[in-house]
Chain A
Protein backbone atom coordinates (compact mmCIF):
# COMPACT_ATOMS: atom_id res chain seq x y z
CA UNK A 1 0.00 0.00 0.00
CA UNK A 2 1.40 3.44 -0.91
CA UNK A 3 2.71 5.49 1.98
CA UNK A 4 3.37 9.09 2.86
CA UNK A 5 6.97 9.32 4.01
CA UNK A 6 8.19 11.90 6.50
CA UNK A 7 11.75 12.73 7.43
CA UNK A 8 13.31 13.02 9.88
CA UNK A 9 11.33 10.97 12.38
CA UNK A 10 12.74 13.07 15.22
CA UNK A 11 14.39 16.48 15.09
CA UNK A 12 15.89 18.40 17.97
CA UNK A 13 16.61 22.07 17.41
CA UNK A 14 17.69 25.05 19.44
CA UNK A 15 15.19 27.80 20.09
CA UNK A 16 15.45 30.49 17.44
CA UNK A 17 16.70 28.14 14.73
CA UNK A 18 14.90 27.34 11.50
CA UNK A 19 13.78 23.79 10.72
CA UNK A 20 12.50 22.16 7.58
CA UNK A 21 10.30 19.11 7.86
CA UNK A 22 10.08 16.98 4.77
CA UNK A 23 7.34 14.84 3.33
CA UNK A 24 7.03 12.71 0.22
CA UNK A 25 3.31 12.39 -0.57
CA UNK A 26 1.84 9.54 -2.57
CA UNK A 27 2.82 10.09 -6.17
CA UNK A 28 -0.59 10.56 -7.83
CA UNK A 29 -2.03 12.66 -5.01
CA UNK A 30 -2.85 16.29 -5.65
CA UNK A 31 -3.79 17.64 -2.23
CA UNK A 32 -1.27 18.04 0.56
CA UNK A 33 -1.60 18.94 4.20
CA UNK A 34 0.29 19.59 7.39
CA UNK A 35 -1.15 18.91 10.83
CA UNK A 36 0.32 19.35 14.28
CA UNK A 37 -0.19 17.56 17.58
CA UNK A 38 1.16 19.06 20.77
CA UNK A 39 1.86 16.34 23.33
CA UNK A 40 -1.35 15.06 24.88
CA UNK A 41 -3.59 17.22 22.71
CA UNK A 42 -5.68 16.87 19.58
CA UNK A 43 -4.31 16.75 16.08
CA UNK A 44 -4.79 20.23 14.61
CA UNK A 45 -4.95 21.40 11.02
CA UNK A 46 -2.20 23.75 9.88
CA UNK A 47 -2.41 24.17 6.12
CA UNK A 48 -3.63 22.64 2.89
CA UNK A 49 -1.86 22.95 -0.45
CA UNK A 50 -3.13 22.37 -3.96
CA UNK A 51 -1.94 23.35 -7.40
CA UNK A 52 1.23 24.88 -5.98
CA UNK A 53 -0.49 27.23 -3.62
CA UNK A 54 -2.01 27.31 -0.16
CA UNK A 55 -5.73 26.61 -0.36
CA UNK A 56 -6.52 27.01 3.32
CA UNK A 57 -4.63 27.71 6.53
CA UNK A 58 -5.50 27.81 10.20
CA UNK A 59 -4.87 30.57 12.72
CA UNK A 60 -1.84 28.62 13.90
CA UNK A 61 -0.19 28.95 10.49
CA UNK A 62 1.20 32.44 10.84
CA UNK A 63 4.21 34.12 9.24
CA UNK A 64 6.53 31.82 11.14
CA UNK A 65 5.45 28.95 8.90
CA UNK A 66 5.75 28.35 5.19
CA UNK A 67 5.20 25.41 2.85
CA UNK A 68 6.74 24.54 -0.44
CA UNK A 69 6.71 21.85 -3.07
CA UNK A 70 10.22 22.40 -4.34
CA UNK A 71 10.63 19.63 -6.88
CA UNK A 72 7.32 17.94 -7.69
CA UNK A 73 7.78 15.11 -5.21
CA UNK A 74 8.69 16.65 -1.86
CA UNK A 75 6.41 18.80 0.27
CA UNK A 76 8.11 20.77 3.02
CA UNK A 77 7.10 22.71 6.09
CA UNK A 78 9.53 25.40 7.20
CA UNK A 79 9.36 26.83 10.70
CA UNK A 80 11.40 29.97 11.25
CA UNK A 81 12.69 31.16 14.63
CA UNK A 82 11.44 28.11 16.49
CA UNK A 83 9.94 28.56 19.94
CA UNK A 84 9.60 26.09 22.78
CA UNK A 85 5.87 25.84 22.09
CA UNK A 86 6.54 24.63 18.56
CA UNK A 87 7.56 21.28 20.05
CA UNK A 88 5.03 18.81 18.70
CA UNK A 89 4.44 15.95 16.30
CA UNK A 90 4.00 17.23 12.77
CA UNK A 91 2.04 15.09 10.35
CA UNK A 92 1.94 15.36 6.61
CA UNK A 93 -1.04 14.01 4.69
CA UNK A 94 -2.00 13.68 1.07
CA UNK A 95 -5.13 12.88 -0.87
CA UNK A 96 -5.92 12.11 -4.49
CA UNK A 97 -9.46 13.47 -4.41
CA UNK A 98 -10.17 14.84 -0.91
CA UNK A 99 -12.09 11.74 -0.03
CA UNK A 100 -9.61 9.37 1.58
CA UNK A 101 -6.50 10.87 3.17
CA UNK A 102 -3.25 9.13 3.96
CA UNK A 103 -1.19 10.43 6.85
CA UNK A 104 2.53 10.00 7.32
CA UNK A 105 3.92 8.62 10.54
CA UNK A 106 5.03 12.05 11.71
CA UNK A 107 8.10 14.04 12.69
CA UNK A 108 8.62 14.69 16.37
CA UNK A 109 10.06 18.19 16.74
CA UNK A 110 11.70 19.06 20.03
CA UNK A 111 12.78 22.68 20.57
CA UNK A 112 15.27 23.14 23.40
Chain B
Protein backbone atom coordinates (compact mmCIF):
# COMPACT_ATOMS: atom_id res chain seq x y z
CA UNK B 1 0.00 0.00 0.00
CA UNK B 2 0.86 3.67 -0.17
CA UNK B 3 2.93 5.15 2.63
CA UNK B 4 1.88 8.57 3.89
CA UNK B 5 4.30 10.61 5.95
CA UNK B 6 3.21 13.67 7.85
CA UNK B 7 5.40 16.29 9.44
CA UNK B 8 5.88 17.50 12.01
CA UNK B 9 4.42 14.76 14.23
CA UNK B 10 3.78 17.24 17.04
CA UNK B 11 3.42 20.99 17.06
CA UNK B 12 2.79 23.47 19.85
CA UNK B 13 1.77 26.98 18.88
CA UNK B 14 1.00 30.17 20.69
CA UNK B 15 -2.45 31.45 19.83
CA UNK B 16 -2.26 33.74 16.82
CA UNK B 17 0.75 32.01 15.25
CA UNK B 18 0.82 30.51 11.76
CA UNK B 19 1.90 27.01 10.81
CA UNK B 20 2.44 24.70 7.86
CA UNK B 21 1.78 20.98 7.98
CA UNK B 22 3.17 18.69 5.31
CA UNK B 23 2.07 15.38 3.86
CA UNK B 24 4.22 13.23 1.53
CA UNK B 25 2.99 10.22 -0.42
CA UNK B 26 5.14 7.31 -1.56
CA UNK B 27 3.14 6.99 -4.77
CA UNK B 28 0.60 8.92 -6.79
CA UNK B 29 -2.92 9.09 -5.42
CA UNK B 30 -6.14 9.82 -7.22
CA UNK B 31 -7.56 12.02 -4.51
CA UNK B 32 -6.31 13.75 -1.43
CA UNK B 33 -8.15 15.05 1.60
CA UNK B 34 -7.24 16.77 4.85
CA UNK B 35 -9.09 16.04 8.07
CA UNK B 36 -9.11 17.46 11.57
CA UNK B 37 -9.71 15.06 14.42
CA UNK B 38 -10.96 17.01 17.41
CA UNK B 39 -10.26 16.06 21.04
CA UNK B 40 -13.47 14.00 21.11
CA UNK B 41 -12.22 11.82 18.27
CA UNK B 42 -14.56 13.16 15.61
CA UNK B 43 -13.12 13.30 12.10
CA UNK B 44 -13.95 16.54 10.34
CA UNK B 45 -13.49 16.96 6.60
CA UNK B 46 -11.36 20.01 5.83
CA UNK B 47 -10.37 19.90 2.19
CA UNK B 48 -10.76 17.72 -0.84
CA UNK B 49 -7.68 18.78 -2.79
CA UNK B 50 -6.23 16.39 -5.39
CA UNK B 51 -4.30 19.32 -6.89
CA UNK B 52 -3.99 23.08 -6.72
CA UNK B 53 -4.82 25.41 -3.85
CA UNK B 54 -7.98 25.97 -1.84
CA UNK B 55 -8.80 28.31 1.00
CA UNK B 56 -11.46 28.17 3.68
CA UNK B 57 -11.22 30.97 6.20
CA UNK B 58 -7.97 30.73 8.13
CA UNK B 59 -7.10 27.41 6.54
CA UNK B 60 -5.69 26.78 3.12
CA UNK B 61 -4.20 23.78 1.39
CA UNK B 62 -1.96 23.21 -1.59
CA UNK B 63 -1.30 19.92 -3.35
CA UNK B 64 1.48 19.40 -5.86
CA UNK B 65 0.37 16.09 -7.33
CA UNK B 66 3.40 15.67 -9.59
CA UNK B 67 5.68 15.80 -6.55
CA UNK B 68 3.32 13.77 -4.34
CA UNK B 69 2.95 16.20 -1.47
CA UNK B 70 0.39 18.46 0.09
CA UNK B 71 0.60 21.34 2.55
CA UNK B 72 -1.97 22.61 5.03
CA UNK B 73 -1.60 26.19 6.23
CA UNK B 74 -3.18 27.40 9.43
CA UNK B 75 -3.07 31.14 9.99
CA UNK B 76 -3.84 33.05 13.18
CA UNK B 77 -4.27 29.80 15.09
CA UNK B 78 -6.90 29.51 17.79
CA UNK B 79 -7.20 27.11 20.70
CA UNK B 80 -10.10 25.41 18.90
CA UNK B 81 -7.64 24.40 16.16
CA UNK B 82 -6.07 21.91 18.58
CA UNK B 83 -6.32 18.26 17.64
CA UNK B 84 -4.79 15.91 15.14
CA UNK B 85 -4.59 16.74 11.45
CA UNK B 86 -4.60 13.86 9.00
CA UNK B 87 -4.05 13.77 5.30
CA UNK B 88 -5.25 10.80 3.29
CA UNK B 89 -5.06 9.76 -0.31
CA UNK B 90 -6.79 7.02 -2.18
CA UNK B 91 -6.23 4.74 -5.09
CA UNK B 92 -9.32 2.79 -6.01
CA UNK B 93 -11.42 1.89 -3.01
CA UNK B 94 -9.04 2.51 -0.19
CA UNK B 95 -7.92 5.67 1.58
CA UNK B 96 -4.44 5.60 3.06
CA UNK B 97 -4.07 7.83 6.10
CA UNK B 98 -0.96 9.42 7.48
CA UNK B 99 0.02 9.15 11.13
CA UNK B 100 -1.13 12.70 11.73
CA UNK B 101 0.22 15.95 13.14
CA UNK B 102 -0.86 16.60 16.71
CA UNK B 103 -1.40 20.33 17.14
CA UNK B 104 -1.74 22.07 20.48
CA UNK B 105 -2.56 25.77 20.47
CA UNK B 106 -1.95 27.46 23.80
CA UNK B 107 -3.55 30.75 24.82
- Footprint of B on A, CB under 8 Å? 31, 33, 35, 37, 42-45, 48, 55-56, 58, 89, 91, 93, 98-106, 108
User: Which of these, A33, A43, A45, A48, contacts B86 with CB under 8 Å?
Assistant: A43
Given A43-B86, A43-B88, A105-B43 contact (CB < 8 Å): yes
B43 touches A44 (CB 8 A): no
Question: Is chain A's interface secondary structure helix, strand, loop, or mixed overall?
Answer: strand
B90 touches A101 (CB 8 A): yes
A89 touches B93 (CB 8 A): no
Q: How large is the interface on B (under 10, 10 to 19, 20 to 34, 35 or more residues)?
A: 20 to 34
> Closest Cβ of chain B: how far from A77's Cβ, in Å?
16
**B83 beta carbon closer than 8 Å to chain A:** no
User: Which of these, B33, B41, B96, B98, contacts A101 with CB under 8 Å?
Assistant: B33
Q: How many angstroms from the CA of A89 to the CA of B86 in the assembled complex?
A: 15
B33 touches A100 (CB 8 A): yes
Find the A residue at minimum CB distance from B6. Answer: A42
B98 touches A103 (CB 8 A): no
Q: How many angstroms from the CA of A43 to the CA of B84 in the assembled complex?
A: 12
- Footprint of A on B, CB under 8 Å? 30-31, 33, 35, 41-45, 48, 50, 86, 88, 90, 92-100
Cβ of B98: which chain A residues have Cβ within 8 Å of it? 42
Q: How many angstroms from the CA of A37 to the CA of B48 in the assembled complex?
A: 21
Cβ of B48: which chain A residues have Cβ within 8 Å of it? 99-101
Given A99-B48, A105-B42, A43-B97 contact (CB < 8 Å): yes
A103 touches B35 (CB 8 A): yes
20 other A-B residue contacts (CB within 8 Å) besides A48-B93, A104-B43 = A31-B93, A33-B93, A42-B97, A42-B98, A42-B99, A43-B88, A43-B95, A45-B95, A58-B94, A89-B41, A93-B95, A98-B31, A98-B90, A99-B50, A100-B48, A101-B31, A101-B95, A103-B45, A105-B44, A108-B41
